[in-house]
Amino acid sequence: MDAGMMGGIIGGAVGLAGGAIGTYFSIRNTRGPRERAFMVKASVIAWVVVTAFLVGLLMLPKPYNWFLWLPYGIALPLSIRWCNQRQQRIRAEEAADAPNR
């Protein structure tokens, strides 16, 4: 096995581990049940979309697979922004609904 193949395998494993750890802590650090349910749903959708993107990159012939970067590069930051705003809104609503302590 050459260095390029080894680097690809190690890099892929580190990327998957980082995604799994980030997903775990994103769900763990929620403060209420609605926020947690939203983060679980958002995480599942994100994993499915990113997996579909990577499969598309591998399955489409070159140079057509490079066209997948355009919608992905636009949709990813917009969806991250939307999810963060939605999570903050849910957090504020849950805090307002919680009994005063």
pLDDT of residue 58: 92
pLDDT of residue 101: 53
Domain that holds residue 85: 3-97
Domain total in the chain: 1
pLDDT at residue 100 above 90? Answer: no
Separation CA 26–CA 30 (nearest Å): 7
- More confident site: 1 or 14: 14
pLDDT at residue 99 above 80? Answer: no
- Quick: pLDDT tens for 31-87: 999 999 999 999 999 999 999 999 999 999 999 999 999 999 999 999 999 999 999
